[in-house]
Amino acid sequence: MIDDTLHFPPGFQWGTATASYQVEGAAQTDGRGRSIWDTFSHTPGKVHDGDTGDVACDHYHRLDDDLDLMARLNLGAYRFSVAWPRVQPTGRGPVNVAGLDFYSRMVDGLLERGIAPVATLYHWDLPQALEDDGGWPHRDTARRFGEYAALVGEALGDRVHTWLTLNEPWCAAYLGYADGEHAPGRQEPAAALAAAHHLNLGHGLAVQALRATVRQDAQVAVTLNLHQVRPDTDGADDLDAARQVDAVANRVWLGPMLEGGYPQDLFDGTVTVTDWSFVHDGDQATIAQPIDLLGLNYYNPVRVRRFTGEPGPDAAGRGGPGGPWVGCDDVEFVRQPGPYTEMGWPIDATGLEEMLLRLHRDHPGLPLVITENGMACDDRVEAGQVHDDDRIAYVHQHLAAAHRAIEAGVDLRGYFLWSLMDNFEWAHGYGKRFGITHIDYDTQRRTPKDSARWYRDVIAANGVPAAVGPVTA
């Protein structure tokens, strides 16, 4: 019989991912402090249907059951994030032991079940007290983050092998401080760029803190939601628009972390927004700490062109004030062909392959991990089942793309499906479902979807069938 499986390399890590505010609930339990997302979600009009993360999936109280669920799915790894305000309720000062103990129990429970813990230090739940002092646009927040990293490293560093400093700093900086769709909901483009710099600085300080506290063989990394930016045409103007977006979306992180500094075209393109005087001598050396892996979160590509004065019929918005694309006032975003996910995001796995190839080309020797990928679907429970064929096809397509990249020489070490379970999808509240496990938010009943069983079999086979089905969404 012909084996048509696309096999992944031996030791390839298969996991799922979640984030603290999206799943834990227990917002006021065991001394947890308030985060910017508590404040934001409790502010009328900020989140769909007024949803909050107060209860979420109640992961905090259902930890053992959820760990058993992961074991039944055959997961090799679980990517979770640590809630800073559980560990340091005001973002500074001594550890809240009860809060940190939750993560200690989680790590032990994972290891007992043979599941590797992958810890993210920051997935957007900044302690509100630090935002009150200025938040990420304020330099001191980076210092506080380094101190927090040391506390978590000291507590869990003997058992956690893989660490991620930040998750998607693009969202924290631009959605939080320029667009305002995310907490803390500010619309201050200059502050967003300062936030970006201080997130970079915080990353460097956190890497240093982790290296000083965690086991010597630990792998320390960061997770970026890099954007595969495509010009609408091969014309010089559209190519230039793509370059400009690439600078604020991608090279603002890759530059200082991995390429020796911020690119000049980022400074040039944002000169009307800020003079970047928040970058101090010595910052670059702090940010450029060597890392062991790079985490990539991928959902869809973006298409752009130079704005010529009249929105095109297929325009999907412009850069500049009021949105996340700081300094990109003369860039138009172009609606891409479907199919689309429930988020309205186009489904196109070739963007993943292209981004993996780019990272491999530009950073040879740096292993890569897909730390998030997945699809929001309009899932329904029918007779105790959720038939999410579109999600299966989506993941299948993206794994096939990842496999092509591996065949082309990319050193890809793992794949984390977003998400283990439906959860609080930020400004969309509970209205969007990304999980391979359905959550009934009234009863907290967990129902593994068809995709969960499919993924379990992928993990068992360490591969996917070669034939990739279409997504019909």
CB nearer to ligand IFM: pick between 21 and 278: 21
382 is catalytic: no
- Compute the least distance from the CB of residue 329 to ligand IFM, in Å: 26
Q: CA 27, CA 21: separation in Å to the nearest integer?
A: 8
What residues from 408 to 437 belong to the interface with ligand IFM (CB under 6 A)?
418, 425, 434
Place of tokens 């010595």: 282
- Compute the least distance from the CB of residue 171 to ligand IFM, in Å: 7
Candidates 213, 79, 91; CA nearest to 152 is: 213
User: Which residue of this chain has its Cβ atom nearest to ligand IFM in the complex?
Assistant: 19
What is the C-alpha end-to-end distance of the chain, expressed in Å?
A: 33
Residue 154's alpha-carbon distances to 167, 222, 367, in angstroms, are 20, 19, 25
Q: CA 400, CA 458: separation in Å to the nearest integer?
A: 12
- Compute the least distance from the CB of residue 161 to ligand IFM, in Å: 22
425 is catalytic: no
- Compute the least distance from the CB of residue 169 to ligand IFM, in Å: 11
135: alpha, beta or left? (left if phi > 0; alpha if psi -120 to 50): left
Looking at 24, 66, 240, 372, which residue binds ligand IFM (CB under 6 A)?
A: 372
CB nearer to ligand IFM: pick between 22 and 270: 22
What residues from 13 to 52 belong to the interface with ligand IFM (CB under 6 A)?
19, 22
Collapsing DSSP to helix, strand or coil, 86 comes out as helix
Collapsing DSSP to helix, strand or coil, 45 comes out as coil
Does 342 bind ligand IFM (CB under 6 A)? Our answer is: no
Supply the DSSP string of 106-147, one letter for each residue.
HHHHHHHTT-EEEEEEESS--BHHHHHTT-TTSTHHHHHHHH
What residues from 266 to 285 belong to the interface with ligand IFM (CB under 6 A)?
none
- Compute the least distance from the CB of residue 17 to ligand IFM, in Å: 8
CB nearer to ligand IFM: pick between 157 and 184: 184
Bridging pattern class, strands 77-81 and 13-17: parallel
Residue 450's alpha-carbon distances to 265, 277, 400, 442, 453, in angstroms, are 46, 52, 19, 22, 5
- Compute the least distance from the CB of residue 466 to ligand IFM, in Å: 28
Supply the DSSP string of 239-252, one letter for each residue.
HHHHHHHHIIIIIH
Collapsing DSSP to helix, strand or coil, 465 comes out as strand
How many beta carbons lie within 10 A of that of residue 28, not counting itself? Answer: 11
- Compute the least distance from the CB of residue 20 to ligand IFM, in Å: 10
Residue span 227-266 as binding mask against ligand IFM, x where in contact by CB under 6 A, dash where not = ----------------------------------------
Contacts of 312 by beta carbon, 8 Å cutoff, 6+ apart: 305, 332, 334
Q: In this structure, what are the phi and psi dihedrals at residue 432, rounded to the nearest 5 degrees?
A: -120, 135
Q: How many residues line the site for ligand IFM (CB under 6 A)?
A: 8
Q: Are 435 and 421 in contact (CB under 8 A)?
A: yes
CB nearer to ligand IFM: pick between 434 and 454: 434
What residues from 125 to 184 belong to the interface with ligand IFM (CB under 6 A)?
168
Catalytic residue among 131, 353, 372, 425: 372
- For the chain, helix, strand, coil in percent to 5 are 40, 20, 45
Q: CA 454, CA 204: separation in Å to the nearest integer?
A: 38
Residue span 106-125 as binding mask against ligand IFM, x where in contact by CB under 6 A, dash where not = --------------------
- Compute the least distance from the CB of residue 434 to ligand IFM, in Å: 6
Nearest 5°: the CA angle 199, 36, 374 is 70
CB nearer to ligand IFM: pick between 7 and 48: 48
CB nearer to ligand IFM: pick between 75 and 279: 75
Q: CA 446, CA 449: separation in Å to the nearest integer?
A: 9
Does 297 bind ligand IFM (CB under 6 A)? Our answer is: yes
CB nearer to ligand IFM: pick between 223 and 244: 223
CB nearer to ligand IFM: pick between 38 and 425: 425
Q: Are 452 and 73 in contact (CB under 8 A)?
A: yes
CB nearer to ligand IFM: pick between 218 and 349: 349
What residues from 64 to 93 belong to the interface with ligand IFM (CB under 6 A)?
none
- Compute the least distance from the CB of residue 216 to ligand IFM, in Å: 30
Catalytic residue among 168, 332, 342, 353: 168
* Interface contacts to ligand IFM, rule CB under 6 A: 19, 22, 168, 297, 372, 418, 425, 434
Among all residues, which ones are annotated catalytic? 168, 372
